[in-house]
Amino acid sequence: MGKVAWVFPGQGSQRLGMGRDVVENMPGAKEFFATGSDILGYDLARLCWEGPEERLRQTKYTQPALLVVSSMLAHILRSHGLKPHAVAGHSLGEYSALVAAGSLPFAEAVALVARRGQLMQEAVPYGQGAMGVLLGLDYETTLKICAEAAQGEVVEPANLNSSQQVVISGTRSAVERAMALGRERGARRVLELAVSGPFHSSLMRPAAERFAGDLRKIQWVNPLVPLVANVTAGYVTGADDIPRLLTQQLYMPVRWEETVLRLVDGGVEHFVEIGPGKVLAGLIKRISPKVSVVTCGDMESLEKVLEMGKGDIVL
């Protein structure tokens, strides 16, 4: 039987109500929200379940909220005897992967991603940066479009999600020019993302420089299971590499397609997306149609994964 990878989504997968039915039905689940609230200084459960949604979409709130929900779900899977052969996360999801791999304690992760979200939100004044997605164009074409659209500003590939989906990031005007060029060059669809900043672009370097100090304070531990890093699409070889990789992750592209292919090349045949939404599941099926993908984001899908575990489909 093939190996299993747990993958964790990033910002954009949040939704009101996330985690509520799990907390109401699974013993110990509410402790994750309680710990998160104590560290953050506000009622995390109320924010996730009641909103307002506009606040939940703000980076500094979104990031710890998603980490708490994903870590809670992964913990429940482990407590029922399930475990992955490898892990990876998309952008913010890399922190949930590090918690799942035993490299970062949950409580420290909550504080760290709250700080990350705050610095990312402060890096560029609200409204001056943007991100957009070009569907149906490959990386090389997108790179040329960005070079042409920059005109002295910043617009760069940010998320290399699949061979036909590249997210771009930069100053708003440059991103808008690149999106217009994308339509002209035959993109199947062009869409601006509902985010509060130009993430994974060089505009995030000031935030990365400030965040590097926070990362160096953590006592990182070697991953207990293989973990593929966003910026290299290679396996993390040791704890000493993690602060550098996470610093670079703020201003370098997320190499998601290569990450999935690296896992598949390593024998992974089954993926479990742990967290709200199904964004990664859709991408993974397009990248590698032969693998199986299940989601684990609410009580119904959690129960299905646990049942599959009993049958040794997910180990």
Say whether 200 is catalytic: yes
Residue 241 CA to its chain's centroid (Å): 19
Tell me which of 70, 71, 91, 288 is the catalytic residue: 91
Our answer to whether residue 75 is catalytic in this structure is no
Other beta carbons less than 10 A from residue 122's beta carbon: 15
Residue of 75, 85, 90, 200 marked catalytic: 200
Burial class for 186, CB neighbours closer than 10 Å (0-12, 13-18, 19+): exposed
What does the H/E/C string look like for the chain?
A: CCEEEEEECCCCCCCCCCCHHHHHHCCCCHHHHHHHHHHHCCCHHHHHHHCCHHHHCCHHHHHHHHHHHHHHHHHHHHHCCCCCCEEEECCCHHHHHHHHCCCCCHHHHHHHHHHHHHHHHHHCCCCCEEEEEEECCCHHHHHHHHHHHHCCCCEEEEEEEECCEEEEEEEHHHHHHHHHHHHHCCCCEEEECCCCCCCCCHHHHHHHHHHHHHHHCCCCCCCCCCEECCCCCCECCCHHHHHHHHHHHCCCCECHHHHHHHHHHCCEEEEEEECCCCHHHHHHHHHCCCCEEEEECCHHHHHHHHHHHHCCCCC
Active site residues: 91, 200
